[in-house]
Amino acid sequence: MTVYRVLGPLLVERNGGELRLGRPQARRLCALLLAEANQVVSVDRIAEALWGAVPPTSYRVQIQGLVSQLRRALRDPDDPIATVGHGYRLTVASGQSDVDMFAEAVRAGRELLAEGKLEAGVRRLREGLALWRGPVLGDVRLDAVTEFVACWEERRLTALEECIDAQLRIGADEDLSTELRELITAHPFRERFCGQLMTALANRGRAAEALAVYQRWRGKLVEELGVEPSASLREIQVGILRAEDRDLRLAPASRLLLTRLAALPMPDFSAWMAAAVVDGDPAEAEVLVRALDERQLVRASGRRYRLHDLVRSSVPEIVGAERDSALERVFGGLLWLTERAAERLPGSVLRPEPGGAKRWPVAIPAPADPLAWFEAEQQAIEDAVGHAADAGFAELAWELATTAAAYFDYRGLYQEWARCHRRALATVRAAGDRRGEAALLRGIGQLHIYWDEYDDAVVALTESYRISTARGDRPGMARALTGLGVVSRVLWRPEQAHARTVRALELFVECGDRLGAAHTHTSIAAICLDLGRLADAESALEQARRLCADLGDDHRMALVLRRSGQLHLRRGDPERALASLYQALERLESLRDDQCAAQVRLDIGRAYRVLGECQDAARLFRAASSRFTRVGNRSSAAACVLEIDRIRA
Residue 250 has pLDDT above 60, yes or no: no
Fill in the DSSP letter of residue 137. Answer: T
b/e sequence 150-188, b meaning 16+ C-beta within 10 Å: eebeebbbebbbbbbbbbbeeeebeebbebbeebbeeee
240 and 253: one domain? no
Query: What average pLDDT does range 588-599 have in this prediction?
Result: 88
Residues paired with residue 2 on neighbouring β-strands, in sequence order: 14
Which residue type, as a one-letter code, is found at position 145? V
Three-state SS at 272: helix
Residue 22 has pLDDT above 90, yes or no: no
Residue at which a domain ends, from 297, 318, 339: 318
* E strand or H helix that includes residue 95: none
141 and 258: one domain? no
pLDDT band at 296 (very low <50, low <70, confident <90, very high): confident
167 and 193: one domain? no
Residue at which a domain ends, from 171, 197, 221: 171
125 and 232: one domain? no
User: At 185, which CATH number?
Assistant: 1.25.40.10
Closest CA to 504 of 489, 485, 529: 485
In a domain, 112, yes or no: yes
Residue 315 has pLDDT above 70, yes or no: no
Report CA-CA distances (Å) from 274 to 6, 77, 334.
60, 82, 12
Q: How big, in percent rounded to 5, are the helix, strand and coil portions of the chain?
A: 70, 5, 25
Residue 15 has pLDDT above 90, yes or no: no
In a domain, 546, yes or no: no
Domain membership of residue 179 as a residue range: 173-247
Query: What average pLDDT does range 21-44 have in this prediction?
Result: 93
pLDDT band at 636 (very low <50, low <70, confident <90, very high): confident
Contact 208, 295 (CB under 8 A): yes
208 and 314: one domain? no
In a domain, 305, yes or no: yes
Cα-trace Rg, the chain: 39
Burial class (CB in 10 A: 0-12, 13-18, 19+), 97: buried
The pLDDT of residue 247: 59
The pLDDT of residue 578: 94
In a domain, 288, yes or no: yes
159 and 14: one domain? yes
Residue 567 has pLDDT above 90, yes or no: yes
Fill in the DSSP letter of residue 75. Answer: T
User: At 288, which CATH number?
Assistant: 1.10.10.10
* Beta carbons within 10 angstroms of residue 625's beta carbon: 23
The pLDDT of residue 530: 92
133 and 13: one domain? yes
Residue at which a domain ends, from 270, 286, 318: 318
The pLDDT of residue 417: 96
206 and 163: one domain? no
The pLDDT of residue 312: 67
In a domain, 335, yes or no: no
* Tally of domains in the chain: 3
Residue 628 contacts by C-beta under 8 Å, 6 or more apart in sequence?
598, 634, 636, 637, 640
Q: How far apart are CA 404 and CA 380, in angstroms?
A: 11
Report CA-CA distances (Å) from 1 to 4, 19, 102.
10, 12, 18
- Order of strands, edge to edge, in the sheet holding 11-14? 2-5, 11-14, 17-18
136 and 80: one domain? yes
In a domain, 130, yes or no: yes
Highest mean pLDDT among 197-206, 234-243, 540-549: 540-549
* Beta carbons within 10 angstroms of residue 294's beta carbon: 11
Report CA-CA distances (Å) from 326 to 3, 243, 322, 431.
73, 26, 6, 21
Residue 365 contacts by C-beta under 8 Å, 6 or more apart in sequence?
none
Residues paired with residue 18 on neighbouring β-strands, in sequence order: 13
The pLDDT of residue 402: 96
27 and 163: one domain? yes
Query: What average pLDDT does range 117-138 have in this prediction?
Result: 94
180 and 100: one domain? no
Residue 35 has pLDDT above 70, yes or no: yes
In a domain, 21, yes or no: yes
The pLDDT of residue 40: 95
Residue 539 contacts by C-beta under 8 Å, 6 or more apart in sequence?
none
In a domain, 482, yes or no: no
Residue 354 contacts by C-beta under 8 Å, 6 or more apart in sequence?
339, 399
pLDDT band at 505 (very low <50, low <70, confident <90, very high): very high
pLDDT band at 29 (very low <50, low <70, confident <90, very high): very high
Three-state SS at 4: strand
The pLDDT of residue 215: 87
Q: How far apart are CA 271 and CA 294, in angstroms?
A: 15
- Order of strands, edge to edge, in the sheet holding 304-307? 268-269, 304-307, 298-301
Residues paired with residue 11 on neighbouring β-strands, in sequence order: 5
299 and 218: one domain? no
- pLDDT tens digits for range 164-192: 999 998 877 667 888 999 999 999 999 99
Residue 265 has pLDDT above 90, yes or no: no
